[in-house]
């Protein structure tokens, strides 16, 4: 029977900036130790998929009304699919390397001349660790998502046909100013990894996401 997890935070305290493509612009083969080092440094959030077919991601940034960034480059959250040796509970998975595919990225806010877009008046939530995150205008809405590795979507494409299908689609809720991205075709992956490229966002910000997995 199909079901979903409901919303949960990807990270307790926030994902720290690691720049563009820390796991490769297309993907890479990483040791388990290298991935764990990123987790320990809070530069990656790992989401166990457990056979989920779709993932909904609502981009968040640390709640902050101050504007102290510079430039006009929008921050983004990068989304990666992970395949390891054996199952996550097995020894081989913990000891051997993992294939990491860069599935694309979603905008976390817009920035103009160092000023980050407006914080949502509705979607402001605090994690169990006591850190407050909010959704920001222009995050995950319209055409601000890019995608790669369309082959993984196969028959689970959200839109298009077999010839031009994509596996990420985004939209927003007008009444709540909440943008989100749907990532389809992830059933082959054992984990998703989220990383953060701060670009011109507020210098002390961190990223997070509200996540929902569909089985």
Q: Which residue has the higher pLDDT, 35 or 68?
A: 35
What is the tens place of the pLDDT at every residue in 13-38?
A: 999 999 999 999 888 999 999 999 99
pLDDT band at 77, cuts 50/70/90? very high
pLDDT at 208: 98
Average pLDDT, the chain: 84
135: left (phi over 0), alpha (psi -120 to 50) or beta: beta
Please give the Cα distance from 199 to 116 (Å, whole number).
11
Tell me the whole-structure pTM to 2 decimals: 0.88
Cα angle 100, 103, 104; round to 5 = 130
Find, among 85, 108, 81, the residue nearest to 170 by Cα.
108
Please give the Cα distance from 143 to 117 (Å, whole number).
16
Decide: 122 and 177 in contact? Cβ < 8 Å. Answer: yes
pLDDT at 210: 96
Residue 44: how many CA atoms within 13 Å on its side-chain side? 24
What is the tens place of the pLDDT at every residue in 117-170?
A: 889 888 999 999 999 999 998 887 544 566 665 555 443 333 333 333 334 555
What is the tens place of the pLDDT at every residue in 161-194?
A: 333 333 455 555 655 567 888 888 888 899 999 9
In the chain, the N- to C-terminal Cα span, in Å, equals 8
Find, among 208, 160, 161, 168, the residue nearest to 56 by Cα.
168
């Amino acid at each position: 029977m199909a079901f979903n997890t409901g919303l949960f935070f990807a990270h307790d305290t926030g994902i720290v900036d690691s720049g563009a493509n820390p796991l490769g612009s297309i993907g890479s083969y990483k040791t388990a130790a290298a991935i764990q080092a990123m987790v320990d440094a809070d530069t990656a959030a790992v989401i166990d998929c457990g056979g989920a077919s779709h993932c909904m991601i609502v981009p968040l940034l640390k709640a902050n009304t101050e504007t102290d960034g510079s430039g006009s480059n929008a921050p983004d959250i990068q989304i990666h699919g992970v395949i390891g040796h054996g199952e996550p509970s097995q020894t081989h998975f913990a000891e051997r390397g993992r294939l990491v595919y860069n599935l694309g990225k979603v905008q976390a806010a817009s920035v103009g001349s160092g000023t980050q877009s407006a914080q949502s008046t509705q979607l402001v939530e605090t994690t169990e660790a006591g850190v407050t995150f909010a959704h920001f205008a222009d995050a995950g809405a319209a055409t601000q998502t890019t995608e790669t590795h369309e082959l993984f979507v196969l028959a689970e494409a959200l839109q298009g046909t077999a010839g031009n299908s994509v596996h990420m689609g985004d939209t927003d809720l007008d009444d709540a100013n909440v943008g989100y991205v749907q990532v389809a075709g992830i059933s082959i992956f054992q984990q998703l990894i989220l990383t953060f490229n701060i670009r011109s966002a507020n210098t002390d910000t961190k990223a997070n996401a509200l996540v929902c997995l569909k089985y």
